[in-house]
Protein backbone atom coordinates (compact mmCIF):
# COMPACT_ATOMS: atom_id res chain seq x y z
CA UNK A 1 0.00 0.00 0.00
CA UNK A 2 1.06 3.56 -0.47
CA UNK A 3 -0.34 6.87 0.72
CA UNK A 4 -2.91 6.97 -2.09
CA UNK A 5 -4.70 4.00 -0.59
CA UNK A 6 -5.45 6.06 2.51
CA UNK A 7 -6.91 9.01 0.60
CA UNK A 8 -10.64 9.27 0.00
CA UNK A 9 -11.21 12.08 -2.47
CA UNK A 10 -14.76 12.90 -3.63
CA UNK A 11 -15.32 12.29 -7.35
CA UNK A 12 -15.93 16.01 -7.95
CA UNK A 13 -12.62 16.99 -6.34
CA UNK A 14 -10.68 14.17 -7.98
CA UNK A 15 -11.97 15.32 -11.37
CA UNK A 16 -11.11 18.96 -10.59
CA UNK A 17 -7.54 18.03 -9.61
CA UNK A 18 -7.18 15.91 -12.74
CA UNK A 19 -8.46 18.71 -14.99
CA UNK A 20 -6.56 21.54 -13.25
CA UNK A 21 -9.79 23.17 -12.06
CA UNK A 22 -9.01 25.33 -8.98
CA UNK A 23 -9.51 23.57 -5.63
CA UNK A 24 -9.25 25.10 -2.15
CA UNK A 25 -8.58 22.93 0.91
CA UNK A 26 -10.33 23.80 4.18
CA UNK A 27 -9.51 22.46 7.65
CA UNK A 28 -11.83 20.84 10.19
CA UNK A 29 -10.19 21.70 13.53
CA UNK A 30 -11.67 25.16 13.15
CA UNK A 31 -15.09 23.37 13.03
CA UNK A 32 -14.71 20.70 15.71
CA UNK A 33 -12.55 22.62 18.19
CA UNK A 34 -12.75 26.27 17.18
CA UNK A 35 -16.42 27.20 16.90
CA UNK A 36 -19.65 26.27 18.71
CA UNK A 37 -22.42 24.12 17.18
CA UNK A 38 -24.57 24.93 15.23
CA UNK A 39 -22.85 28.17 14.14
CA UNK A 40 -19.94 26.08 12.87
CA UNK A 41 -22.24 24.05 10.60
CA UNK A 42 -23.70 27.16 9.03
CA UNK A 43 -20.13 28.42 8.60
CA UNK A 44 -18.95 25.13 7.05
CA UNK A 45 -21.62 25.32 4.36
CA UNK A 46 -21.30 29.04 3.72
CA UNK A 47 -17.52 28.94 3.38
CA UNK A 48 -17.89 26.21 0.75
CA UNK A 49 -20.46 28.34 -1.12
CA UNK A 50 -18.07 31.31 -1.12
CA UNK A 51 -15.32 29.17 -2.63
CA UNK A 52 -17.68 27.98 -5.36
CA UNK A 53 -18.84 31.53 -6.07
CA UNK A 54 -15.19 32.38 -6.90
CA UNK A 55 -14.96 29.50 -9.36
CA UNK A 56 -13.10 26.99 -7.20
CA UNK A 57 -14.09 23.66 -5.63
CA UNK A 58 -14.00 23.41 -1.81
CA UNK A 59 -12.23 20.44 -0.21
CA UNK A 60 -12.78 20.20 3.54
CA UNK A 61 -10.48 17.61 5.08
CA UNK A 62 -10.85 15.24 8.05
CA UNK A 63 -9.86 11.77 9.24
CA UNK A 64 -12.92 9.49 9.21
CA UNK A 65 -13.15 5.70 9.17
CA UNK A 66 -9.44 5.12 8.59
CA UNK A 67 -9.33 7.45 5.59
CA UNK A 68 -7.85 10.86 4.87
CA UNK A 69 -10.97 12.56 3.57
CA UNK A 70 -10.67 15.23 0.90
CA UNK A 71 -14.15 16.71 0.58
CA UNK A 72 -16.92 16.02 3.11
CA UNK A 73 -20.61 15.42 2.39
CA UNK A 74 -23.38 17.06 4.46
CA UNK A 75 -23.49 14.16 6.90
CA UNK A 76 -19.72 14.24 7.46
CA UNK A 77 -19.75 18.02 7.94
CA UNK A 78 -22.47 17.58 10.55
CA UNK A 79 -20.38 14.91 12.30
CA UNK A 80 -17.33 17.19 12.45
CA UNK A 81 -19.39 20.17 13.62
CA UNK A 82 -21.20 18.29 16.39
CA UNK A 83 -17.69 17.57 17.60
CA UNK A 84 -18.62 14.64 19.86
CA UNK A 85 -15.66 12.33 20.37
CA UNK A 86 -13.68 14.05 17.63
CA UNK A 87 -9.93 14.11 18.23
CA UNK A 88 -7.56 16.81 16.98
CA UNK A 89 -5.02 15.47 14.53
CA UNK A 90 -1.70 17.16 14.01
CA UNK A 91 1.11 15.43 12.08
CA UNK A 92 2.20 13.09 14.88
CA UNK A 93 -1.39 11.84 15.36
CA UNK A 94 -2.21 10.98 11.75
CA UNK A 95 -0.94 7.41 11.58
CA UNK A 96 -2.40 6.53 14.98
CA UNK A 97 -5.87 7.82 14.15
CA UNK A 98 -5.88 6.23 10.70
CA UNK A 99 -4.74 2.88 12.08
CA UNK A 100 -7.24 2.89 14.94
CA UNK A 101 -10.21 4.32 13.06
CA UNK A 102 -10.55 7.34 15.35
CA UNK A 103 -12.49 10.26 13.86
CA UNK A 104 -10.31 13.37 13.94
CA UNK A 105 -10.33 16.98 12.84
CA UNK A 106 -7.34 18.19 10.86
CA UNK A 107 -5.16 21.08 11.99
CA UNK A 108 -3.31 23.40 9.60
CA UNK A 109 -0.36 20.97 9.59
CA UNK A 110 -2.48 17.94 8.78
CA UNK A 111 -4.62 19.75 6.23
CA UNK A 112 -1.43 20.85 4.43
CA UNK A 113 -0.18 17.28 4.52
CA UNK A 114 -3.42 15.86 3.09
CA UNK A 115 -3.77 18.65 0.50
CA UNK A 116 -0.24 17.96 -0.69
CA UNK A 117 -0.92 14.21 -0.98
CA UNK A 118 -4.03 14.96 -3.03
CA UNK A 119 -2.32 17.59 -5.19
CA UNK A 120 -4.23 20.60 -3.82
CA UNK A 121 -1.94 23.64 -3.56
CA UNK A 122 -4.10 26.30 -1.88
CA UNK A 123 -5.69 26.14 1.57
CA UNK A 124 -7.77 28.66 3.52
CA UNK A 125 -7.83 28.70 7.31
CA UNK A 126 -8.54 31.16 10.14
CA UNK A 127 -5.29 31.43 12.04
CA UNK A 128 -2.19 29.27 12.07
CA UNK A 129 -0.49 27.70 15.07
CA UNK A 130 2.93 29.03 16.01
CA UNK A 131 5.50 29.58 18.73
CA UNK A 132 3.70 29.86 22.06
CA UNK A 133 4.57 32.57 24.53
CA UNK A 134 7.13 31.16 26.93
CA UNK A 135 8.30 28.57 24.38
CA UNK A 136 11.86 29.31 25.52
CA UNK A 137 10.92 27.15 28.54
CA UNK A 138 8.08 24.92 27.37
CA UNK A 139 9.29 24.21 23.79
CA UNK A 140 5.63 24.51 22.77
CA UNK A 141 5.85 25.23 19.06
CA UNK A 142 2.98 24.16 16.82
CA UNK A 143 3.73 21.43 14.29
CA UNK A 144 2.06 23.78 11.78
CA UNK A 145 5.38 25.62 11.44
CA UNK A 146 7.38 22.51 10.55
CA UNK A 147 4.74 21.64 7.98
CA UNK A 148 5.34 25.03 6.37
CA UNK A 149 9.01 24.14 6.25
CA UNK A 150 8.41 20.98 4.19
CA UNK A 151 5.04 20.88 2.46
CA UNK A 152 4.22 22.64 -0.79
CA UNK A 153 0.93 24.35 -0.01
CA UNK A 154 -0.01 28.02 0.07
CA UNK A 155 -2.01 28.83 3.21
CA UNK A 156 -4.19 31.92 3.47
CA UNK A 157 -4.69 32.95 7.11
CA UNK A 158 -5.47 36.04 9.13
CA UNK A 159 -2.02 35.64 10.69
CA UNK A 160 -2.12 34.19 14.17
CA UNK A 161 -3.64 35.07 17.51
CA UNK A 162 -1.56 36.83 20.08
CA UNK A 163 -2.00 33.81 22.34
CA UNK A 164 1.27 33.12 20.51
CA UNK A 165 4.56 34.96 20.44
CA UNK A 166 4.07 36.46 16.99
CA UNK A 167 7.62 37.80 16.73
CA UNK A 168 9.14 34.38 17.46
CA UNK A 169 6.67 32.71 15.09
CA UNK A 170 7.90 34.95 12.27
CA UNK A 171 11.54 34.28 13.22
CA UNK A 172 10.89 30.54 13.08
CA UNK A 173 9.29 30.82 9.64
CA UNK A 174 12.29 32.81 8.43
CA UNK A 175 14.72 30.18 9.70
CA UNK A 176 12.85 27.47 7.80
CA UNK A 177 12.69 29.49 4.60
CA UNK A 178 8.97 30.19 4.51
CA UNK A 179 7.94 33.33 2.60
CA UNK A 180 5.39 35.38 4.56
CA UNK A 181 3.33 37.53 2.20
CA UNK A 182 0.98 40.33 3.22
CA UNK A 183 -2.12 40.39 1.07
CA UNK A 184 -2.30 44.04 -0.01
CA UNK A 185 -0.69 45.03 3.28
CA UNK A 186 2.76 45.37 4.80
CA UNK A 187 1.46 44.39 8.25
CA UNK A 188 1.36 40.84 9.55
CA UNK A 189 -2.20 40.51 10.87
CA UNK A 190 -3.12 39.27 14.37
CA UNK A 191 -6.32 37.36 13.67
CA UNK A 192 -8.95 39.62 15.35
CA UNK A 193 -6.87 42.71 14.61
CA UNK A 194 -5.61 44.01 11.27
CA UNK A 195 -2.12 44.60 12.61
CA UNK A 196 0.16 42.75 15.02
CA UNK A 197 2.91 45.31 15.32
CA UNK A 198 5.09 43.14 13.03
CA UNK A 199 5.57 43.55 9.31
CA UNK A 200 5.48 40.85 6.66
CA UNK A 201 8.49 40.16 4.44
CA UNK A 202 6.67 41.15 1.26
CA UNK A 203 3.49 42.99 0.45
CA UNK A 204 1.71 41.45 -2.56
CA UNK A 205 -0.68 43.30 -4.83
CA UNK A 206 -3.12 40.42 -5.27
CA UNK A 207 -3.79 36.81 -6.20
CA UNK A 208 -1.87 36.88 -9.45
CA UNK A 209 1.35 37.83 -7.69
CA UNK A 210 0.90 35.12 -5.05
CA UNK A 211 0.36 32.51 -7.79
CA UNK A 212 3.57 33.59 -9.54
CA UNK A 213 5.55 33.36 -6.30
CA UNK A 214 4.17 29.86 -5.58
CA UNK A 215 5.03 28.66 -9.07
CA UNK A 216 8.53 30.16 -8.96
CA UNK A 217 9.29 28.72 -5.52
CA UNK A 218 8.25 25.21 -6.46
CA UNK A 219 9.77 25.38 -9.96
CA UNK A 220 13.06 26.01 -8.19
CA UNK A 221 12.58 22.93 -6.04
CA UNK A 222 12.38 25.05 -2.91
CA UNK A 223 10.15 22.76 -0.88
CA UNK A 224 7.79 24.17 1.70
CA UNK A 225 4.74 26.33 2.07
CA UNK A 226 3.89 29.94 1.41
CA UNK A 227 2.07 31.85 4.13
CA UNK A 228 -0.32 34.62 3.10
CA UNK A 229 -1.37 37.02 5.85
CA UNK A 230 -4.78 38.37 4.94
CA UNK A 231 -6.07 40.91 7.47
CA UNK A 232 -9.56 40.70 8.94
CA UNK A 233 -11.90 43.14 7.10
CA UNK A 234 -11.65 46.56 8.76
CA UNK A 235 -15.30 46.65 9.85
CA UNK A 236 -14.86 43.40 11.79
CA UNK A 237 -11.49 44.23 13.31
CA UNK A 238 -11.59 44.19 17.13
CA UNK A 239 -10.10 46.65 19.59
CA UNK A 240 -6.68 45.23 20.41
CA UNK A 241 -6.75 46.33 24.07
CA UNK A 242 -10.03 44.50 24.59
CA UNK A 243 -8.87 41.33 22.88
CA UNK A 244 -5.41 41.43 24.51
CA UNK A 245 -7.02 41.62 27.96
CA UNK A 246 -9.04 38.48 27.18
CA UNK A 247 -5.94 36.73 25.83
CA UNK A 248 -3.91 37.60 28.94
CA UNK A 249 -6.69 36.29 31.18
CA UNK A 250 -6.94 33.07 29.14
CA UNK A 251 -3.16 32.53 29.36
CA UNK A 252 -3.32 33.04 33.13
CA UNK A 253 -6.17 30.50 33.46
CA UNK A 254 -4.27 27.94 31.35
CA UNK A 255 -1.30 28.29 33.68
CA UNK A 256 -3.45 27.93 36.80
CA UNK A 257 -5.15 24.81 35.45
CA UNK A 258 -1.86 23.30 34.26
CA UNK A 259 -3.11 22.96 30.66
CA UNK A 260 -0.38 21.80 28.29
CA UNK A 261 0.36 19.91 25.08
CA UNK A 262 -2.28 19.63 22.37
CA UNK A 263 -4.98 20.90 24.75
CA UNK A 264 -3.32 24.33 25.02
CA UNK A 265 -4.55 25.89 21.79
CA UNK A 266 -8.18 24.64 22.05
CA UNK A 267 -8.32 25.73 25.72
CA UNK A 268 -7.08 29.23 24.95
CA UNK A 269 -9.44 29.59 21.98
CA UNK A 270 -12.49 28.43 23.96
CA UNK A 271 -11.64 30.64 26.93
CA UNK A 272 -11.19 33.73 24.78
CA UNK A 273 -14.52 32.97 23.16
CA UNK A 274 -16.21 32.70 26.58
CA UNK A 275 -14.59 35.89 27.85
CA UNK A 276 -15.54 37.95 24.81
CA UNK A 277 -19.00 36.49 24.23
CA UNK A 278 -20.30 36.54 20.69
CA UNK A 279 -18.05 39.42 19.57
CA UNK A 280 -15.04 37.31 18.85
CA UNK A 281 -17.09 34.58 17.13
CA UNK A 282 -18.62 37.06 14.69
CA UNK A 283 -15.17 38.40 13.81
CA UNK A 284 -13.77 34.88 13.56
CA UNK A 285 -16.46 33.90 11.03
CA UNK A 286 -15.87 36.99 8.92
CA UNK A 287 -12.10 36.68 8.75
CA UNK A 288 -12.39 33.02 7.77
CA UNK A 289 -14.87 33.88 4.99
CA UNK A 290 -12.50 36.55 3.78
CA UNK A 291 -9.60 34.06 3.72
CA UNK A 292 -11.68 31.58 1.72
CA UNK A 293 -12.44 34.21 -0.92
CA UNK A 294 -8.78 35.25 -1.24
CA UNK A 295 -7.61 31.62 -1.32
CA UNK A 296 -10.09 30.92 -4.11
CA UNK A 297 -8.78 33.84 -6.14
CA UNK A 298 -5.23 32.52 -5.64
CA UNK A 299 -6.31 29.01 -6.68
CA UNK A 300 -7.89 30.43 -9.84
CA UNK A 301 -4.69 32.33 -10.71
CA UNK A 302 -2.45 29.38 -9.83
CA UNK A 303 -4.41 27.09 -12.16
CA UNK A 304 -3.53 29.53 -14.99
CA UNK A 305 0.25 29.62 -14.41
CA UNK A 306 0.96 26.16 -13.04
N1 LIG B 1 -5.52 29.13 15.98
C2 LIG B 1 -6.72 29.70 15.81
N3 LIG B 1 -7.77 28.92 15.50
C4 LIG B 1 -7.65 27.56 15.34
C5 LIG B 1 -6.36 26.98 15.50
C6 LIG B 1 -5.33 27.80 15.82
O7 LIG B 1 -6.84 30.90 15.95
O8 LIG B 1 -8.66 26.87 15.06
C9 LIG B 1 -6.20 25.50 15.29
C10 LIG B 1 -5.69 25.25 13.87
O11 LIG B 1 -6.25 24.03 13.39
C12 LIG B 1 -4.20 25.08 14.08
C13 LIG B 1 -4.17 24.38 15.43
O14 LIG B 1 -3.57 24.34 13.08
O15 LIG B 1 -5.20 25.00 16.17
C16 LIG B 1 -2.84 24.47 16.11
O17 LIG B 1 -2.82 23.65 17.21
P18 LIG B 1 -1.44 23.37 17.98
O19 LIG B 1 -1.05 24.71 18.55
O20 LIG B 1 -1.76 22.36 19.02
O21 LIG B 1 -0.46 22.90 16.94
MN1 LIG C 1 1.60 22.70 21.08
Angle 167-169-172 from CA coordinates, rounded to 5°: 110
Q: Give the closest ligand to the alpha carbon of residue 109.
A: 1
Position 78 scores a pLDDT of 98
CA of 108 to the centre of ligand 1 (A): 7
Q: Is 265 in the pocket of ligand 1 (CB under 6 A)?
A: yes
Position 24 scores a pLDDT of 99
Query: Catalytic amino acids?
Result: 27, 161
Return the CA Rg of the chain.
Answer: 18
| Integer CA distances (angstroms), 131 to 33, 79, 171, 195, 219, in order | 19, 30, 9, 18, 29
Distance CA(217)–CA(201), nearest Å, equals: 15
- Domain architecture of the chain: domains with CATH: 3-305 (3.40.1790.10)
CA of 15 to the centre of ligand 1 (A): 30
- Taking 70 as the pLDDT cut, the residues of the chain under it are none
User: Which atom number of ligand 1 is nearest to the Cα of residue 27?
Assistant: 11
Distance CA(268)–CA(130), nearest Å, equals: 13
Closest residue by Cα to residue 275 from 240, 237, 244, 235: 244
Distance CA(160)–CA(192), nearest Å, equals: 9
CA of 127 to the centre of ligand 1 (A): 7
pTM for this structure? 0.97
Q: From atom 16 of ligand 1, which residue's Cα is the shortest distance away?
A: 129
Cis peptide bond prior to 301, omega within 30° of 0: no
Q: Is 108 in the pocket of ligand 1 (CB under 6 A)?
A: yes
Amino acid sequence: MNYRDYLSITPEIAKAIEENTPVVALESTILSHGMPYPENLEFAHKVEELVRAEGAIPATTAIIGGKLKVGLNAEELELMCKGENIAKASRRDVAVYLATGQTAATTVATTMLIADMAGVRVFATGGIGGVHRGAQETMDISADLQEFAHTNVCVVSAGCKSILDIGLTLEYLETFGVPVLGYQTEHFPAFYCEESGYNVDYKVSGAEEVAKIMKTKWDLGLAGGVLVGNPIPHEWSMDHKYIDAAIDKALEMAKEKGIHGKKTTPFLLATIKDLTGGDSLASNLQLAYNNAVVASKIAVEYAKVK
